[in-house]
Structures are given as structure tokens and as C-alpha cells.
Amino acid sequence: MRRPLFAIPSAIPLAIVLCAGLLRMTAASAAAPSGVECIVPSKPGGAMDLTCKLVRDGLRELPDQAERPLRLSYVPGGIGAVAWHSMVSAHRGDANTLVAFSGGSLLNLAQGKFGKAKPADVRWVAALGTDYGMIAVRADSPYKTLPDLLAALRRDPARVLVGVSGTKGSQDWLKMALLAGAAGIDPKVFRFVALEGGGEAFTAMQANHVQVVSGDASEAQLMAAEGRLRILAVLSEQRLPGALAGVPTAREQGYDVVWPTIRGVWMGPQVSDKEYRHWVRTFDRMMASPGFARLRGESGLYPLSLTGEALTKYVEQSVRDHRERAARFGLVR
């Protein structure tokens, strides 16, 4: 397989990348000393961005939080590693900083992409909902169905560039690898472009730098409604309700691949028990509020509410499961 385009050169020392992220986070905190900050560990426009915006809008549903400012800060780099290491090193006890995570974050932990980091290094606060993987092309693409796309990959994989958030082994890469395998295609032959977040992947596709995006349904929902792309398949057990009800699942089209993606927030490891419990209770109240289900649906997410200890156990089990899956592809470091 050819070398991925747009990947961060491996020769750049991780310390330099982390230092740059740390400076961005420090500057952001200095600019907003009061209120709450939600760190988006990617560029604007992707699912991590949507997660922090859901936190912001959801907290406004609570009378005691409605007037409290919440600021979004974008800290891309290293498929989430910059935000992770900057947070656990410089903001370990910051009780007013939350960081968005997804199932992709847990996959990166499982594969050692955050170095020696492990789930116990941070405090897991709340899961706000679940998303599902999807495969999309431009609205004017010749590929009308998932079988059309996979047939093209089988004929000439060099002609189809797939945009993914992250590098080889990321959840977007794995979604496409699993589909390729289900279609009898060697996952090693498909060409991919490593990008920083879903927003950048969709931008690359609109510019025709890539012909396909492997991403998440929540990211694609708005652009699909605007007629800018065609979603070929959702990777859910059954068709999703709402705006994507007309999109077939991969299973319907003969490929048994399902990929749910949890979305939520965590905070630094030295946040006091008192402050941590306060945030757990706050998110419990937020997700039980009358307007939250509507906000979650508008964000393209589906019901899943976990906080505190229950979320921590879920994360630990997910990392173990991801490690086993990644090992089958030779991806565990």
C-alpha cells in the first residue's frame, strides 16, 4: 500500500507536537479563566466538535448552569494524543475543563497510540450518546450503493482514495478494513488519506482529494440533508430512525459489519472527588432533563447514558475488546 497522504511525519518529535498543543491549551485557559472549557481534540467540524457543542447546549437546559459560560477550545494533533497528554500533564486537577472522547479515543488507547497512557490515567465523567459508522461519497459520485463502491475497490483499488480520521488502525480505517474483508478484498490494498478529524475528511472529499469518507453518521447527517453527499451505508444493527431512515445498513447489503461509537467527556486525573462527583451528578441531571433527548437527536446521536463508575467500567472493557480486535490486524504496539 502506498504511503498515506497528509499524515504527520514520524520524524517530528512527539515532545514538539505536545508542546505546541500545551501552549494552545494554556493560551486558551488564560483567555477564559472563568466558566467551563470543553476541549475538542480535533479540528472544527467533526464529531468531537459536535460532542462539546452538545455539552454546551445540554448544560443550558439546567437552571443552575444556564448562565455559566462554556467555551470550546480546539486542540488537534496526533489523533487526540496532543490533547490527552497536555491535559494529563498541565491540567491534571482542573475541575472546569472537560475533554471530548469517542470510541476512536478508546481504540487509540488500546493500540498504544497515546504512548503508555491507559484508561485509569483520567476520570471518565459522562457518555452522552452513541453514534454509528457510515460510508459516504459525494452527491455526484458514480457509486450509488455500497456494493458499487466495493466492486470498484476490487477492480482497481488505486483509483479510489478513502479519507479517514487518523492513520492506519484508527476506527475509520478499521471500518473500511472490515468492509473490505467482508467483501473478500485484502484490507491492505485499499488506499487511504490520513486526516485530522471528520470535518477535514469531508472538506477533502468535497474538493475531490478523496472519493470516499469512512466516518460517523452524526458528522454526515447535516451534509446529507444539504444534498452535498450520498451515504452508502450505516454500520448499525438496523436502520437508524430520523433523518437517515432511508439509508440502508451494511448488513442489508450483504456485509455484516456493525460499528457503534460512544461519545462523551472526561477530565483530569487529579480533580478532587468532590468536584468529580459534582460533574457526574450534573451530567445525570442534564441527560434526564426534558430537552436533552431532542438535543441529542439533533446532534445525530442515539440513546446511551453512562456516568461515573458505570462509564469507567464500560471504557475499561471497551479498551480490552478493541485491543483484541486490533491484534487480529497486527495493530497493537
Q: What is the pLDDT of residues 213-259, one digit of tens each?
A: 999 998 888 778 788 899 999 999 999 988 899 999 999 999 999 99
Measured between alpha carbons, how far is 314 from 333 in angstroms, rounded to an integer?
Answer: 22
Cβ within 8 Å of residue 70, ≥6 positions away:
35, 36, 37, 38, 55, 56, 59
Cell of 73: 477550545
C-alpha span between 116 and 102 (Å, rounded): 19
* Res. 34: pLDDT tops 70: no
Domains of the chain, with CATH numbers? 14-130+262-328 (3.40.190.150), 132-253 (3.40.190.10)
Q: State how far Cα 247 lies from the chain centre.
A: 21
95 pLDDT exceeds 70? yes
More confident of the two residues 197 and 142 = 142
Give the C-alpha separation, 164 to 174, whole Å. 10
Largest CA distance in the chain: 59
Q: What is the pLDDT of residue 21?
A: 47
Distance CA 4, CA 23 (A): 28
pLDDT category at 61 given cuts 50, 70, 90 is very high
Do the Cβ atoms of 191 and 72 come closer than 8 Å? no
Q: What average pLDDT is seen over the chain? A: 87
Q: Is the pLDDT of residue 29 over 50?
A: no
Task: Assign 19 a pLDDT band (cuts: 50, 70, 90).
Answer: very low
**For the chain, percent of residues with pLDDT exceeding 70:** 89
Q: Lowest mean pLDDT: which of 2-16, 139-153, 305-319? A: 2-16
What pLDDT, in 10s, does the model give residues 268-284?
Answer: 999 999 999 999 999 99
